[in-house]
Amino acid sequence: MAGRRRAWDAWRVRGVALWLVLGSLVALVACGGGSSGTDTASADVRRLLDRRAAAVLAGDGPAYARTGAPGEFTRLRALPLAAWSYRLTALHRTDGEAATADVELSYRVEGIDKAPVKVGRTLRLTERDGGQWYVDADEPARKTGQQLWDQGTVQAVHGMHSLVLGVGQSTESLRLYAGLADRAVPAVTEAWGRAWTRRVVVLVPKSLEGMAGLLGSPASSYRGIAAVTTGEVGGSAKAPADRVIVNPEAYGVLGDFGKQVVLTHETTHVATRTATTAATPLWLSEGYADWVGYRSTGRTAVQAAPELARAVASGEVPEALPRDSDFGFGGDAGKLAQAYEGGWLACRLIADRWGEVRLGEFYRAVGAHGTRAGAVEGAMADVLGTTPAEFTGLWRDYLRAQLV
């Protein structure tokens, strides 16, 4: 947990993306063979991959099994797929009849992804039966996160506004996640507006280690983090859909209230993705997500910001708005909680003083600037009619008034 008192505050990791696109086309090579042999093997492997992809889309288990390594089909067949294809980027002949293929897998989830998710895969192949190629193993490429089906058989639960995909979870558990997500989507739409997909994808691995595997990072990086949202910061409306990835261990210890706030917070990140750019400071992106999460809960500032309330009660009123570095997961848990709480109260101040519509306009104006320098200053002048110095003074007074 990122702090025992505020376990579900450190909810989002910036810069983590499920969609890793291979940066350059690697020349196809084959050890110990001539170019004609290489070209023939490459063409044969491409045909194998085409048959394998067609079998996935057709839901044809026997056809998939004829391409080799049939176990993956069972694990992924619950995925509602609109597209699935492979692109061979390199073929490495090894000893005898074996080879390794570097492949870009491209797929779209039906009704969710407006553009393909693209991930690197490494396939181990064998040539037998008079020159036929077969897949012996299909694994994530080096330094690439796992896909959910790499961890086991995927289960899918469709909600009214959500798709929940899980491994090692009961159907009832996944339905509970779908219910929370279905309540989060209208709450976010009410605050942010309708200009987003108004659907959310939730991935629920079996464990913390499974969450870390999906993110391609050590489990220690996410211990106690209830959920993160992956996606392209500032991504276009045609980018693959964000995924909310849950840590079932940290999420499971929360009460019903905390679980709902977490899913609403993360869903806010999905909704605001295209308006969130390098210009957006974390106090605004995380504070706004918290503001939406708490917006209709009736929680007071003291109840929702206990760490900052203790600091203010001790006369330790922050001198400035939280910096991006204050949101790091590896630092002091109390300081991390105060950063989230400070960002939330800054957004709450804007909503209280200028109105909720202006808060949304301010968020969009900051992101539209594109670069960090001058973004907040310009948006404060144009939308709020104030300056960062004046706003900071108002915020410090607001903390004193609210956290008593």
Q: What is the pLDDT of residue 370?
A: 86
The reply to whether 190 and 267 lie within a common domain is: yes
Sign of CA pseudo-dihedral 35, 36, 40, 41: negative
The reply to whether 191 and 243 lie within a common domain is: yes
Q: What is the pLDDT of residue 216?
A: 92
Of the residues 231, 247, 275, the one at which a domain ends: 275
The reply to whether 133 and 172 lie within a common domain is: no
Question: At which residue do the structure tokens 């942010």 appear?
Answer: 192
Task: Please list the ranges in the chain whose pLDDT falls under 70.
Answer: 1-39, 233-238, 330-331
Domain assignment present for 28: no
The reply to whether 398 and 299 lie within a common domain is: yes
Q: What is the pLDDT of residue 331?
A: 65
Q: What is the pLDDT of residue 195?
A: 94
Domain assignment present for 13: yes
Indicate which CATH number applies to the domain containing 254.
Answer: 3.30.2010.30
Question: At which residue do the structure tokens 């042999």 appear?
Answer: 37
What angle is formed at CA 310 by the lines to CA 306 and CA 315, rounded to 5 degrees?
A: 145
Torsion of CA 343, 215, 106, 87, to 10 degrees: 130
Per-residue HEC secondary structure of the chain comes to CCCCCCCCCCCCCCCCCCCCCCCCCCCCCCCCCCHHHHHHHHHHHHHHHHHHHHHHHHCCHHHHHCCCCCHHHHHHCCCCEEEEEEEEEEEEECCCCEEEEEEEEEEEECCCCCCCEEEEEEEEEEEECCCEEEEEEEEECCCCCCCHHHHCCCEEEECCCEEEEECCCCHHHHHHHHHHHHHHHHHHHHHHCCCCCCCEEEEECCCHHHHHHHHCCCHHHCCCCCEEEECCCCCCCCCCCCEEEECHHHHHCCCHHHHHHHHHHHHHHHHHHHHCCCCCCHHHHHHHHHHHHHCCCCCCHHHHCHHHHHHHHCCCCCCCCCCHHHHCCCCCHHHHHHHHHHHHHHHHHHHHHCCHHHHHHHHHHHHHCCCCCCHHHHHHHHHHCCCHHHHHHHHHHHHHHHCC
Q: What is the pLDDT of residue 328?
A: 82
The reply to whether 239 and 324 lie within a common domain is: no
Domain assignment present for 88: yes
Q: Which residues, 6 or more positions from 194, have their beta carbon under 8 angstroms from its beta carbon?
A: none
Structure tokens at 182: 């279905």
Domain assignment present for 231: yes
Q: What is the pLDDT of residue 220?
A: 86
Give the full edge-to-edge strand order of the sheet including 98-109. 81-93, 98-109, 117-128, 132-140
Q: Which residues, 6 or more positions from 299, have their beta carbon under 8 angstroms from its beta carbon?
A: none
What are the C-alpha distances in Å from 299 to residues 210, 264, 291? 33, 15, 11
Q: 374 — alpha (psi -120 to 50), left (phi > 0) or beta?
A: left
Sign of CA pseudo-dihedral 119, 120, 122, 127: positive
Domain assignment present for 23: no
Q: What is the pLDDT of residue 404?
A: 87
Q: What is the pLDDT of residue 233?
A: 66
Inter-axis angle of helices 282-294 and 333-353, nearest 10:
70
Domain assignment present for 113: yes
pLDDT digits over 9-65, tens only?
334 333 333 222 223 322 223 333 344 455 689 999 999 999 999 999 999 999 999
Name 256's bridge partners: none
Q: What is the pLDDT of residue 39?
A: 66
The reply to whether 285 and 334 lie within a common domain is: yes
Containing domain of residue 140, as a range? Answer: 35-144
The reply to whether 158 and 248 lie within a common domain is: yes
The reply to whether 137 and 154 lie within a common domain is: no
The reply to whether 206 and 296 lie within a common domain is: no
Of the residues 248, 275, 302, the one at which a domain ends: 275
The reply to whether 169 and 250 lie within a common domain is: yes
Of the residues 275, 300, 335, the one at which a domain ends: 275
CA neighbours within 13 Å on the CB side: how many for 147?
Answer: 22
The reply to whether 139 and 191 lie within a common domain is: no
Domain assignment present for 30: no
The number of distinct structural domains making up the chain is 3
Q: Is 8:261 a contact under the CB 8 Å cutoff? A: yes
Q: What is the pLDDT of residue 10?
A: 39
Q: Amino acid identity of 41?
A: A
The reply to whether 208 and 196 lie within a common domain is: yes
Indicate which CATH number applies to the domain containing 103.
Answer: 3.10.450.50
Domain assignment present for 22: no
Distance, in Å, from the CA atom of 250 to the CA atom of 224, rounded to the nearest integer, reads: 5
223 by Cβ neighbours in 10 Å (0-12 / 13-18 / 19+) ranks as middle
Q: What is the pLDDT of residue 96?
A: 76
Look at residues 252, 143, 239 and name the one whose alpha carbon lies nearest to residue 204: 252
